[in-house]
Amino acid sequence: MTDLQAMALLFCGAYFALMVFIGYFTGRNIQKDDFIIGDRNIGIIGTASSIGSGLRDVGFVWFWITFSFLQGYALIWIFVTTAISVFAFIPFARKLRVLAKERNYISPVELIRDRIGPYCEKTIGASTVISVLILASAQFMVLGALFSNVFSIDPIIITSILFIITSFYLWNGGYKSIIRTDIVQSLFIAILLVIPFMIPNIEIKTFMQWDTVFSMGAWDTFFLCSPLLFFGFTGGDIYQRVLSARDDKTVRWGLSLSIIVIIILSFGLILIGMALKSMNPDVQPQQALMGLFTNSEISPILLSIFLVIFVAMGMSTLDNNAYNVSSIILRNFKREKTTNKYALYSKIIITLFLGMAALISIIASDDIMNHLFGLISLYLITAPYYVISLLTKKDNKDKVMDIGLCLCWLISLIVYLYFMVNGYFSKGFEYMSVPLAVGFGLSISWVSIRRIALNYRY
């Protein structure tokens, strides 16, 4: 066993033990509402750290480092756009929390059920389940590849370990375990900002290439970043944290402070990508991350810490995805009330979800990575329906409106699938915006036409 393997085993073993301990400790005194939604009593730190750590998963970390290797600071515009999106969502989030408490929302898609209707509820719910299943599979796949590279073991082994540990602390502590582990994971992630400066033989001037901020050009920068203006409105983790927030102050400050976590993580990844290029400029950009762990000049301790950070990102995404899926299935498909049965069913769904994601990562790992970037577009096509739900002040009773919006989503999905199958997402960033633009254009047009027709009728 090499020094790196011994040190990585020690650090990762300690981290896994910490996650198990948090799950066990949380489960000892947990109540029903703590398991389901944290008793809607999650504070500012828990909300901010959970949102911040959940918005950067290990699959997209690979993309960030690869892209920063090529373009330097050009990706800075992504977290600027994401920050704007989260800030813009705050006024809507404050109203959403009040409504959620009144109606006992557990799943974000319950808002769509009330404001649009059951047809859109089912389609958006199913779309979310499928997209986060693929996203969770990417976590298993990337972490499996990393551990295989460090320990020369079959990726199935680390995939199985991650599945068992994540399932354990979710089984025991539910939603409260997610928040507590996210706080710990965000602390590990914060270390990313200093790691690049600890890599030997890297000069400060490596990180002073500010001219790369505009290296992509206005066209690519616009089409890469503009869809992300709706990132805060696409349901998922952000909405879950709003539903569980203690009060209005928690929503305001939790969302605002989560931007700091996002900036720390994003900036740290950019610096790592630039450092890797300085160390080995001839390596293939897609292999830069894996090559980091074969560099003998870097301390095994530093590499082990870096590996733990990657594990923290992956597990943070896995537990958030698993809970999100269980809440959608139980509240939007089964209509289960918040009873002890809900907790039991949630545990079963979480286990099945993580098991399916792990299995997909083993069977179709190449397909996942080939379409990972296009997955952003699939995730974002739900944004128009959340935006319409947030802007609508009354519940919708019009079945025709609901079916029409459902068809709008279906058309945007067909556009997405056509682009994905024909490889358009790899040809240019502008194609990533098209399914979202189609969805917005059709849905807003349909809502306007239908409301005019109803006003004329009455």
- The CA distance from 291 to 282, in Å, is 11
Residue 340 pLDDT > 80: no
Kindly list the distances between the CA atom of residue 250 and the CA atoms of 85, 243, 247, in Å, as whole numbers in the listed order: 18, 11, 5
Mean pLDDT confidence for 159-173: 85
Nearest one of 403, 402, 414, 405 to 384, comparing CA atoms: 405
The answer to whether 260 and 51 are in contact (CB under 8 A) is: no
Give the per-residue pLDDT at 146: 82
Per-residue pLDDT reduced to its tens digit, 45-93: 888 887 776 666 666 777 778 888 888 888 888 878 888 888 899 999 9
- The CA distance from 104 to 243, in Å, is 9
Residue 243 or residue 174, greater confidence: 243
Architecture of domain 3-374: Orthogonal Bundle (1.10)
Give the per-residue pLDDT at 458: 45
Task: Determine phi and psi for 429, rounding to 5 degrees.
Answer: -65, -25
- The CA distance from 365 to 368, in Å, is 5
Quick one: DSSP state of residue 280? -
Three-state SS for 213? helix
**How far apart, in Å, do the first and last CA atoms of the chain sit?**
79
- The CA distance from 401 to 196, in Å, is 52
Quick one: DSSP state of residue 42? B
Per-residue pLDDT reduced to its tens digit, 233-252: 886 778 888 888 888 899 99
Kindly list the distances between the CA atom of residue 350 and the CA atoms of 29, 33, 311, 324, in Å, as whole numbers in the listed order: 21, 17, 19, 9
Per-residue pLDDT reduced to its tens digit, 217-234: 888 888 888 888 888 888
DSSP string, 47-94: HHHHHHHHTS-HHHHHHHHHHHHHHGGGGHHHHHHHHHHHHHHHHHHH
Residue 100 pLDDT > 50: yes
Three-state SS for 392? coil
Where is average pLDDT lowest: 316-320, 373-377, 432-436? 373-377
Give the per-residue pLDDT at 402: 92
- % of the chain exceeding 70 in pLDDT: 92
Listed by start position, the domains of the chain span 3-374
Task: Determine phi and psi for 42, rounding to 5 degrees.
Answer: -80, 130
Per-residue pLDDT reduced to its tens digit, 407-417: 999 999 999 98
